[in-house]
Amino acid sequence: MQYNAPDEILDTDEDKLREECGVVGIYLNKKDQSAPFNAAKLAYYGLYSLQHRGQESAGIAVSDGEKIESHKAMGLVADVFTAEKLEELGGQIAVAHVLYSTSGAAHIENAQPFVNRFKLGGIAVAHNGNLVNYEQLKEFLEETGSTFVSTSDTEVIVKLIAKSYKKGLERALTDTIQMIKGSFALAVMTENSLIGARDPNGIRPLCLGKLDNGWILASESCAIDAVGGTLVRDIEPGEIVIINEDGVLSFEFGERTAKRTCIFEYVYFARPDSVIDNIPVQEARLRMGAVLARETPVPADVVIGVPDSGLGAAMGYAKASGIPYAMGIVKNKYIGRTFIAPTQSEREQMVFVKLNAMKSDVAGKRVVIIDDSIVRGTTCRRLIQILRKAGAKEVHFRVSSPPVKFPCYFGIDTPCRADLISSAHNTEEICKEIGADSLAFISIDGMFEALRDANERSYGYCKGCFTGEYPIPFPGELNGKRL
């Protein structure tokens, strides 16, 4: 079920693609523990650093080696957990989750991790991604006696693992992962182990880190840094790792397929200080900006970026073009994700509250403004209005990703194709619609070149939102999105 915000709520990033969620897993070694366990507190710090991946709910499940407890609620990480609650949870092992829902509505029933307790033991599952065969699997499970309390595809994963658990954890995980289709990065916990798994195409990211007294799994390496850990490596596509008192066991659960990491991790989703599949995110963005400057040069006096995800590409564009870089736009960092605004016109005006131009940087100047993407076109139109009001003589809009023409089916919340401005309009038409003096996008080949320059061993990306060519077959209609 696709979640759409009520009309009275304005999402201040409404013209952006959104990641579904972030996951964290913590395992603390018994033999290295001199003080009481508190995996929950480390999971909290990890979640806090992944807040950008989801702001609707947060949850942590822990195990003390004998039983699993959990706490989750709607809201931001800092609002959901108090110091007292983290002390109460404690735990030797933890899995944690922040949510932006693409499959299932934003209700507490869909908050993760999902916990299932049964005769042979318990499990807790945190999932980032989207299953394209969710409806078929849910129907199969209901026909065999399972009941569901949510509309989240993650609950299907929990039920499938539980159904095969008597075969042993490794077999249950393998059986489940071979049944689910789509994108997934999983952090799974039992009473005495932590498990990570990544889909065969590696669409959603997952990495492994070393702690002084244990291990950490996380969607991004910035979460490992946040708890004082050291990045060891990325979990490979089609790999399962089981972490317990014997160390880290790794095995593949199926035939190796072509790697297809979501390219928007580098364009927009990931924090700039993260490293994903051996590519530093900020380095990729700087190089995308440099390619953009080479492909679409324009005479100008200043280059600025849209805070925050456009800043890296803007710096790269400025350096490559020789045009001075300036702040140009100030973001009000104290504004939350949503406002209450009773009318459409008031909602549209809220961008002026969130962002404002630096007149001293842009007045009387030819301005190149860099953003990471154009989805509906509403935000860039308002940004151009802000710059012209501040006295910009010319505004040239540059985009560090190709035109987004198709929906995503693998864990990104994109509008249906009819609402994607690049799906129905060419570059000239969009330029006129947003009111820019010129508009240009990076080419697909140029974007891949930037990633190769950031790491010459880079390969394999999902580009479905640009070309309509997806790494996994999917139903013609999924979660209300039509081609």
Which top CATH class is 18-257?
A: alpha beta
Among 94-108, 201-215, 290-304, 355-369, the minimum mean pLDDT is found in 94-108
According to DSSP H, which parts of 6-113 are helical? Answer: 39-49, 77-80, 83-89
Task: Name residue 459's amino acid.
Answer: Y
pLDDT of residue 201: 92
Q: Quick check: helix, strand or coil at residue 116?
A: strand
Run of H or E residues at 130:
strand 121-131
Cis ω before 36 (30° cut-off from 0)? no
Q: Could you give the CA distance from residue 414 to residue 398 in angstroms, rounded to a whole number? A: 21
Question: Given the DSSP bridges, would you call strands 214-218 and 21-28 parallel, antiparallel or unpaired?
Answer: antiparallel
Confidence class of residue 410 from pLDDT cuts 50, 70 and 90? confident
Average pLDDT estimate for 327-331? 94
The Cα–Cα gap between 310 and 463 comes to 20
Checking if the pLDDT of 326 tops 80, the result is: yes
pTM above 0.85, yes or no: yes
Find out whether 153 and 184 touch, Cβ atoms under 8 Å: no
- CA 397 – CA 310 distance, rounded (Å): 11
pLDDT at 394: 98
Domain 279-332+342-457 listed as CATH 3.40.50.2020:
yes
Both tokens assigned to 83: 């110091």
408 is in an annotated binding site: yes
Checking if the pLDDT of 476 tops 90, the result is: no
CA angle, residues 258, 264, 267, in degrees to nearest 5: 130
State yes or no: pLDDT of 292 exceeds 60.
yes
Rounded Cα distance, 329 and 304, in Å: 7
Pairing of strands 207-211, 214-218: antiparallel
Was 79 annotated as part of a binding site? no
How far from 40 is each of 43, 232, 288, 430, CA to CA, in Å?
5, 21, 38, 48
**Least confident range of 1-5, 26-30, 52-56:** 1-5
Does the annotation list 222 as a binding residue?
no
Average pLDDT in the 75-99 region?
Answer: 96
Separation CA 221–CA 216 (nearest Å): 10
Q: What would the two tokens of residue 339 be?
A: 């406002």
pLDDT at 11: 41
pLDDT score for 107: 83
pLDDT at 375: 87
Q: Is the N-terminal amide bond of 308 cis, ω within 30° of 0?
A: yes
What amino acid is encoded at 236 in this protein?
Answer: E
Contact (Cβ atoms closer than 8 angstroms) between residue 406 and residue 264: no
Among 150, 39, 169, 165, CA closest to 95: 39
On whether 431 is known to bind a ligand per the annotation, the reply is no
462 is in an annotated binding site: yes
Flag the least confident range among 183-192, 204-213, 274-283, 453-462: 453-462
Res 20: pLDDT: 65
Q: Looking at residue 6, what is its pLDDT?
A: 31
Structural tokens at position 139: 């129907």
Helix 169-179 / helix 153-164 crossing angle, nearest 10 deg: 140
| 32 in a labelled binding site | no
Mean pLDDT across 434-440: 97
User: What pLDDT score was predicted for residue 348?
Assistant: 59
**118 DSSP β-pair partners:** 121
Q: Do residues 201 and 260 lie in contact, with contact meaning Cβ atoms separated by under 8 Å?
A: yes
Cα–Cα dist 174/196, whole Å: 12
Average pLDDT over residues 316-335: 92
Q: How far apart are CA 21 and CA 216, in angstroms?
A: 17
**95 has pLDDT over 70:** yes
Mean pLDDT for the stretch of residues 106-119:
87
Average per-residue pLDDT for the chain: 87
Question: What are 118-164's pLDDT values in tens digits?
Answer: 777 889 999 999 998 999 999 999 998 888 999 889 999 999 988 88
DSSP 402-462: ----S---SSEE---GGG-HHHH--HHHHHHHHT-SEEEE--HHHHHHHHHHH-TT---EE
Q: What is the pLDDT at residue 481?
A: 41
Q: DSSP character for 399?
A: E
Contact between 17 and 4 under an 8 Å Cβ cutoff? The reply is no
Per-residue tokens: 281? 């995110």
Per annotation, catalytic residue among 21, 207, 222, 380: 21
pLDDT of residue 377: 87
Least confident span in 12-26, 183-197, 232-246, 408-422 = 12-26
Clarify whether 222 is annotated catalytic. Answer: no
Residue 302 pairs with which residues in a beta bridge? 367
- pLDDT tens-digit map of 32-44: 556 678 999 999 9
CB 254 within 8 Å of CB 202: no
Of 217, 236, 184, the C-alpha closest to 459 is: 236
pLDDT for 479 beyond 50: no
Average pLDDT for residues 448-476, to the nearest whole number? 82
Q: Rounded mean pLDDT of 405-415?
A: 75
List the single range of 67-76, 120-129, 333-342, 404-413 with lowest mean pLDDT.
Answer: 333-342
Checking if the pLDDT of 217 tops 90, the result is yes
CB-CB neighbours of 333 under 10 Å: 8
User: Burial, 364: exposed, middle or buried (Cβ in 10 Å; 0-12, 13-18, 19+)?
Assistant: exposed
pLDDT at residue 15 tops 80: no
Unique residue bearing structure tokens 């954890």: 169
Sequence ranges of the domains in the chain: 18-257, 279-332+342-457
Q: Is 380 annotated as a binding residue?
A: no
For residue 418, pLDDT beyond 80? no
Percent of the chain whose pLDDT exceeds 90: 65
- CA 49 vs. chain centroid, Å, equals 12
Whether the predicted pLDDT of 21 surpasses 50? yes
DSSP assignment of 213-240: TEEEEESSHHHHHHTT-EEEEEPPTTEE
